[in-house]
Amino acid sequence: MAESKNTSSEMTDAQLIQQLALLGWLNTDSVECKQFLTAVTGMQVAQEVLNRLSGQGKVDAYRNECIQSVVDFVRRNPRASERELKLR
């Protein structure tokens, strides 16, 4: 599931879907809603395990840090030549 950017007070898309599934199950106590909640929760757990095993979170953090460094350099040096940018 793709995650959207969020502030600390907002749920991720996956969290919102899980909460909707939980609410549906609590309101109806149906087998279908329970199965949906189980599937959504299982997918979230599997995604988290995969991210932890693969180190994808660290890769994403390093990539974002690298991009931010380039942005900061360009902001500090708006007239930098293409050659200077390639050296950075």
Q: Residue 47 contacts by C-beta under 8 Å, 6 or more apart in sequence?
A: 1, 14
State mean pLDDT over 9-13.
Answer: 91
**Quick one: DSSP state of residue 6?**
-
63 falls in which pLDDT band (50, 70, 90)? very high
Q: Which long-range contacts (CB under 8 A, 24 or more apart) does 31-38 make?
A: none
For the segment 13-59, what is each residue's pLDDT rounded down to a tens digit? 999 999 999 999 999 999 999 999 999 999 999 999 998 999 998 99
At residue 82, the pLDDT reads 86
At residue 3, the pLDDT reads 47
Determine if residue 55 is left, alpha or beta; phi over 0 gives left, psi from -120 to 50 gives alpha, anything else beta: left
Whole-angstrom distance, CA of residue 39 vs CA of residue 24: 14
For residues 40 and 21, the answer to whether their CB atoms sit within 8 Å is yes
